[in-house]
Structure 1
Amino acid sequence: MKWNIALNDYQNYLKIERGLSENSISSYSLDIQKLLLFLETNKIVTSPIQIDKHIVQQFIYEISKDVNPRSQARIISGLKSFFNYLVFEDYRIDNPLELIESPKTGRKLPDTLSEDEINDLIAAINLSTPEGERNRAILETLYGCGVRVSELINLKISDLFFEEDFIKVTGKGDKQRFVPISDINKKYINLYKNEIRVHLNIQKGFEDILFLNRRGRQLTRAMIFTIIKQLAIKIDLKKTISPHTFRHSFATHLLENGADLRAIQQMLGHESITTTEVYMHVDRSHLAQVLNEFHPRK
C-alpha cells in the first residue's frame, strides 16, 4: 500500500465517517506529511504497512528539536489516529505509536479579554464605512454568542430566529445547536443586514450567507483574523488575540458572573463537559462566593 493511497483513504474516512471539517482534515494530513518528509529526507524507504516503532521514534526525536511539547503531542496524536485507522481497516495488525507517550504539556489556560478591552476594540471600529457596521456586528456575535470563527463565517440569514432570541449554529461535524442572542447583538446584526448588506451585489450561492465582503461573497477565516488584528493594533492592545479569544472571553465572563457550567457547555457546543471545565481554572474567585452563599455550614 502506497502512502498517497493510504492518506487519501484516511482523508475520506475523516470526512465521510467522522464528519470532520476541511480544516481538521488538513491538520491531520499535515501530521502525516511531516512524517513523509522525514522519511524522504533520511532516505528511509518504507510503506504505511511496514513502518515500525523504531522509525517513528526517530521521527519524534527529530521533531522534538524544532517544536514545543504541545505541538509534539498534537503530531503524535494525529499519527496515532492515522495508524489506528489502518489497523481498523485490517491494513496493519498493530499501531507503531501504541506505546509512545506524548510529552507532558500542562494545561494551557485560554487567553481572555476584559469587558473594557472588548468595549475598546468595538469602539475603535470606523463606523463611517459600510464594513464598519459589518465588523461591529461580527465582534458582537463572536463575543455575544461565543461562536467559533468557522461557525461565524457560515452563519446564514435563515439561521436567525430573532423572535425566539436564538441563532442556529452549525459546529464541528455539522452538529447544530441553538445559541441565545441578546437584544444588543440582534440590533447590530439587523443594522448591518437591513442597511448595509442589502446594497451589496451579492454573488450567486451566497444569498443566504449573513456576513459578506464588499464583493458580495462569503468572508474567509483569514479576513476575520485580520479585522481583529488591525483593531488590536489600533488600540495598542498588548495581548495577542484572535477570533477564538472572544469565544474564551464569552465563556469566562459567563462563569465569573455565576452561569452554570452545563449551560456554557451547551452554548459552546462542547461534546464533553471536561472541555468546558478548563474555564474553571481561569478565575476561581467566584467559587468562594458560591460556597458562602449555598453551603449549609457557611
Structure 2
Amino acid sequence: MDWENLKKDFKRFLLLERGLSQNSIDAYQNDIVKLQHYCELKEIPLQDIKTRNIQDFLVWINEFAISAFSQARILSGIKTFFHFLQIEYQWDSNPAELIESPRLSRKIPTVLSIQEIDALISAIDLSAAEGMRNKAILEILYGCGLRVSELCELKISNLFLDVEFIKVEGKGNKERLIPIGEQAIKFLKIYLEEIRVHQTIKPGMEDYVFLNRRGNPLSRVMIFIIIKDLAEKIRLKKDISPHTFRHSFASHLVEGGADLRAVQDMLGHESISTTEIYTHIDKDYLQSIITQYHPRS
C-alpha cells in the first residue's frame, strides 16, 4: 500500500472507529504528512520505517522550532497511525511505540476575574441586531464551560431549560449533560424568543441555536472575533479566547470549593489529571492574596 491510500483509510478509521472531530482528524492527517515528507526526503520506504527513523524525524522537526507540545502531539499521531496499520493491515510492529514524548511543562491557563467577565458582558451593545445573541453566547460560555466547537454545534433540541440542563456533544462524539444557570437561561430565552424567532434561517439549520445574519450557524472564527472585539473595547490586557471562559468557569468552581470530579464531568475531561490544572490556578490565587494582604509579604 502507498502513503496516499493508507492516509485515506486512516482518515476513515479515525472518523468511524475513533469518532474524532474533523479538527482532530485534520491534525492527525497533518502529522502523517510531515512523516511522509521526511521519509520521501530521506528515501525511506514506508514498510522499512524503524524506531531510529522516527527518532531522527523528531530531531529533524525540532530544527524547525516546533514546540515540545506540538512534537508530543505529532508523535501521538504517528503512534496512532502505526497502531491503525497493525489493526487493519497486520503490520508487524509499531516503530513509534517505545519512543517517549518530550517532557511538557504544564502551562497555567489564563483566567478572567468575575469583574473582568462582567465588564466584557457589559460592553456588548444591546442596541445592535446581534447584541442579545452575543450576550447569550458569553453567558453560556462562562456559565456552562463549553468548548467553542460545542457552542457552535449547540442545538435547540438539546436545551432542557425547564430543568436547567443542556446536552452537548463533546470530543469523540461523547454526549454530556451540563447544568445551566438562571442568568444564562434568561438571556438565552430572550435571544430565542425575541430575536432569533424573527430571523430568516437557511433550510436544514433550524435546530442550531446561534446563527449569523445569513441564517447559518456561527463559526468558531466569528466567536473569536466577538470576544477579541469586546476585549479591545474594555482595553483588557490579557490575551483571551473563547476557551478563556471555559478556564474561568472551571477555576471559579474550584475556588468556590466544587468537587473536582463534578468539574471533570461538566468539562467532559477523560482524565482527572487534566482537571487538576485548576487546583494549581486556585493555589496561585491564594498566593496572590497572601502577597497582597499579608504584612510580611
Normalising by structure 1, we get a TM-score of 0.91
What secondary structure sits across from 2:276 in the alignment?
helix
The residue identity in structure 1 corresponding to 2:202 is: Q
Query: Does 2:141 align with 1:142?
Result: yes
* Structure 2 stretches lacking a partner, 5+ long: 288-297
Per-residue deviation, 1:151: 0.8
Aligned to 2:7: 7
What secondary structure sits across from 1:205 in the alignment?
coil
Per-residue deviation, 1:149: 0.8
Aligned to 1:87: 86
Between 93-102 and 161-170, the greater mean CA deviation after superposition: 93-102
Matches within 5 A, 1:113-262: 113-262=112-261
What secondary structure sits across from 2:176 in the alignment?
strand
What secondary structure sits across from 2:116 in the alignment?
helix
What secondary structure sits across from 2:48 in the alignment?
coil
- Residues 223-262 of structure 1: CA deviation (Å, up to 9, x unaligned): 1111111111222222221111111110000010111111
Per-residue deviation, 1:118: 0.9
Aligned to 2:266: 267
Per-residue deviation, 1:85: 1.3
Per-residue deviation, 1:52: 2.0
Structure 1 stretches of at least 4 aligned residues deviating more than 3 Å after TM superposition: 285-288
Aligned-residue identity in percent: 55
Aligned to 1:33: 33
* Structure 1 stretches lacking a partner, 5+ long: 289-298
Per-residue deviation, 1:18: 1.1
How many residues align? The count is 286
The residue identity in structure 1 corresponding to 2:10 is: Y
The residue identity in structure 1 corresponding to 2:49 is: I
- Residues 119-153 of structure 1: CA deviation (Å, up to 9, x unaligned): 11111111111211111100110000001111111
What secondary structure sits across from 1:130 in the alignment?
coil
Q: Using the alignment, how far apart are the partners of 1:50 and 1:269 within structure 2?
A: 39
Q: Using the alignment, how far apart are the partners of 2:73 and 2:250 within structure 1?
A: 24
Per-residue deviation, 1:43: 5.0
What secondary structure sits across from 2:282 in the alignment?
coil
Q: Please, which of 35, 51, 55 is the counterpart of residue 49 of structure 2?
A: 51
Per-residue deviation, 1:45: 4.6
What secondary structure sits across from 1:196 in the alignment?
helix
Normalising by structure 2, we get a TM-score of 0.92
Q: Using the alignment, how far apart are the partners of 2:110 and 2:71 within structure 1?
A: 21
Q: Using the alignment, how far apart are the partners of 2:190 and 2:6 within structure 1?
A: 50
Q: Please, which of 60, 84, 93 is the counterpart of residue 58 of structure 2?
A: 60
Contact 1:258–1:286 under 8 Å retained in 2: no
Per-residue deviation, 1:164: 0.4
C-alpha distance 287-236 of structure 1, shift in aligned 2 (>3 A): closer
